[in-house]
Amino acid sequence: MADKHGSTNKAVLDRFLDLEQPDNLVQAEYIWIDGTGEGIRTKCRTLDSEPKSPEDCPIWNYDGSSTYQAEGSNSDMYVKPVALFRDPFRRGKNKLVLCDVYKYNMMPAETNRRHSCLAVMEKAKDAHPWFGIEQEYTLLDTDGHPFGWPKNGFPGPQGPYYCGVGCDKVYGRDIVEAHYRACLYAGIDIAGCNAEVMPAQWEFQVGPTEGIAMGDHLWVARYLLHRVAEEFGVVVTFDPKPMSGDWNGAGAHTNYSTKEMREEGGLQAIEDAIDKLSKKHVRHIKAYDPKEGKDNERRLTGHHETSSIHDFSAGVANRGASIRIPRQVAEDKKGYLEDRRPSSNCDPYSVTEVIVRTTVLDE
């Protein structure tokens, strides 16, 4: 990649990462969501033994006044470990520790949407809700321009870029490959990846994953993507419409099923779920991006493979509908549905929670 201002020589770093690490000491990178509901923050601490579960990692604290979550006069916030992954950067016994955030009084922070999502998933556990999220994103240079695009113009019109091959069709494949391998190493339920319709736009898929684990795995996969791109001097954006005009936006299409939908004759359960979703369209739109629909409004225009944000629609193999039933599902009469409304910067805890509330709990 091109040399960037403030970049360092990674070969020098490798000399130090190759140093022998004491057997009894582990580096644990604590990861949490900041007050924007989109930003990821981390800090590291040394543990005196390898944790086998999140409970083996101590609750920690940080300065919430620097993460849009607290006033300086009462700034302590608490991070409670909830999920554990292998660290693909430090490797060995070192860990990534996903955390919930709590305020000074140990009440969930406003952006701790995992807390309520977990309660919903516990209530609905007999339905065995499975999720698969298709996370789209865009790579940018540090100047905010799409990675690989001409600096004084635009690439050719969309058409040859989706699942493309060749340096004139895809930009940033090294980052994509590195991220995929990092996810596999960490233990993320990553299912695949592909180049998207707009050049410099990509997608990776997480799932199928049951219940609360969907949000856990997607947030850590996002962290890994930011962290890998940092190594290459490239910026990742989850903005749902990073380029105005005749360019595709970015979503987080959510594939969803319950045990009943996956069994023989499950198509009826899928159609029943779609009927329930149709009656709660506004509620879902508000839950599908951090700004309660304002970000998604730029993407869900009814063009560029999207439905209108103002209308609910469903159809077989229809990528312009709110809900798509894959053609194979219609033929098999069982399987899953795809909700195409969530934005690329959605909180997966909010998305999965509201889907289960509407379709399983009838709330």
pLDDT band at 5 (very low <50, low <70, confident <90, very high): low
Give residue-wise pLDDT tens across range 145-178. 999 999 988 999 999 999 999 999 999 999 999 9
Contacts for 172 with CB less than 8 Å, ≥ 6 apart: 139, 147, 148, 200, 202, 232, 234
Give the Cα separation of 85 and 94 in Å (integer): 9
> Helix axis angle, 114-123 relative to 348-359, nearest 10°?
30
pLDDT value for 9: 82
**pLDDT at 7 (0 to 100):** 73
Please tell me the predicted confidence (pLDDT) of residue 2.
43
pLDDT given at position 1? 42
Top pLDDT among 194 and 6 is at: 194
Confidence of residue 320 (pLDDT cuts 50, 70, 90): confident
What are the structural domains of the chain? Answer: 19-111 (3.10.20.70), 121-359 (3.30.590.10)
Q: Tell me what the mean pLDDT of segment 70-79 comes to.
A: 88
Q: Which two tokens stand for residue 224?
A: 């890994």
Residues 275, 292: Cα–Cα separation, whole Å: 22
pLDDT of 153 reads 86
Weakest-pLDDT range from 140-154, 197-211, 332-346:
140-154
Residues 42-69 have pLDDT tens digits of: 999 999 999 999 999 999 999 999 999 9
Distances (CA, A) of 23 to 26, 91, 212, 275: 8, 13, 33, 56
pLDDT of 318: 84
Residues 16, 189: Cα–Cα separation, whole Å: 30
Over range 100-120, report the average pLDDT: 96
Contact 335, 287 (CB under 8 A): no
Average pLDDT, the chain: 95
Q: Model confidence over 216-267: pLDDT tens digits?
A: 999 999 999 999 999 999 999 999 999 999 999 999 999 999 999 999 999 9
Region for residue 124 given its phi and psi (left: phi exceeds 0; alpha: psi -120 to 50; beta: otherwise): alpha
Instruction: Compute the distance between CA of residue 95 and CA of residue 163 in angstroms, rounded to an integer.
Output: 33
* Cα–Cα dist 339/288, whole Å: 10
Average pLDDT over every residue of 314-331: 92
In three-state secondary structure terms, 92 is coil
Residue with tokens 């091959």: 165
Give the pLDDT band of residue 92 (cuts 50, 70, 90).
very high
Contact 161, 198 (CB under 8 A): yes
pLDDT of residue 218: 98
Rounded to 5°, the CA angle 7-9-15 comes to 145
pLDDT attached to residue 4: 55
Task: Supply the pLDDT for residue 6.
Answer: 65
- Whether the CA torsion 296, 298, 299, 301 is positive or negative: it is positive
Here the tokens at position 271 are 């159609």
140 Cβ neighbours under 8 A, 6+ residues apart: 146, 147, 200, 234, 235, 236, 237, 242
Q: At how many degrees (to 10) do helices 348-359 and 213-232 cross?
A: 160
Average pLDDT (65-76) is 88
Q: Across-strand partners of 323?
A: 314, 339
Q: What is the pLDDT of residues 125-146, one digit of tens each?
A: 999 999 999 999 999 999 999 9
